[in-house]
Amino acid sequence: MTPPEPEKKTFAFSTMIVLAVVLVVILLTCVPYLATIVSAQTPAESTAAHASPIFGVTIPAGYKQWELIAPAEEAAPLDELRAVVGNQTAIDAYQAGKLPFPDGTVLVKRAWKRKQSPEFASATIPGAATTVQVMVKDSKKYASTGGWGFGRFINGKPVDEAQHRTCWGCHEARAKSHDYVFTRLAP
């Protein structure tokens, strides 16, 4: 006689139910996370959120390591220290005195609040970062704005469209003789 047979079956059946429930719980827990990861990694979406209106310009990777073209200072009320840096295409064009700047030129203006050095009263040092401004040369894509695409960013996010409408007007009116770029290579 083999009486424990039905008991075994019940045991196997309940184990399967427990396993199935655990599996469903795991799946339900993971799906939202997976969805978040997948959507965050979609390059088109994340780029669009960080691109400037009108021009679609983004903050270029590695710009903090780029070479200095010139520093600048802005009087009150902005009271800022600035540094204009450029990618290799920009630096090569500056050094060769080449105008207009070739396609692929990228210029970045970094800016900080002016701050008095805590160690030395007459020295001025960078305080909090304020804006990052970018100009990208693409003579076809940006044909209607002198070949330049513009982007202004605060805390990594582009400012609104109204501000981006002002860029071209001022650069066109004041810096036309130098391919709409104000900054000259610092001696």
How far is Cα 111 from Cα 131, in angstroms, rounded to an integer?
Answer: 6
Is 36 within 8 Å of 46 (Cβ atoms)?
A: no
Q: Which two tokens stand for residue 82?
A: 């600035």
Closest to 126 in 3D by CA, of 114, 136, 134: 114
Contact flag: residue 132 with ligand HEC (CB under 6 A) = no
Whichever of 36 and 47 has its CB closer to ligand HEC, that residue is: 47
Contact flag: residue 88 with ligand HEC (CB under 6 A) = no
Tell me which of 81, 82, 130, 147 binds ligand HEC, using CB under 6 A: 82
Contact flag: residue 90 with ligand HEC (CB under 6 A) = no
Contact flag: residue 167 with ligand HEC (CB under 6 A) = yes
Tell me which of 53, 56, 115, 182 binds ligand HEC, using CB under 6 A: 182
Tell me which of 85, 90, 94, 109 binds ligand HEC, using CB under 6 A: 109
Using the rule CB under 6 A, give the single segment among 5-13, 32-40, 117-125, 165-173 that binds ligand HEC: 165-173
SS3 at position 93: helix
Beta bridge partners of 158: 153
Is 133 within 8 Å of 108 (Cβ atoms)?
A: yes
Is 115 within 8 Å of 125 (Cβ atoms)?
A: yes
- Contact footprint for ligand HEC (CB under 6 A): 72, 74, 82, 84, 107, 109, 133-135, 150-152, 163-164, 166-167, 170-171, 175, 181-183
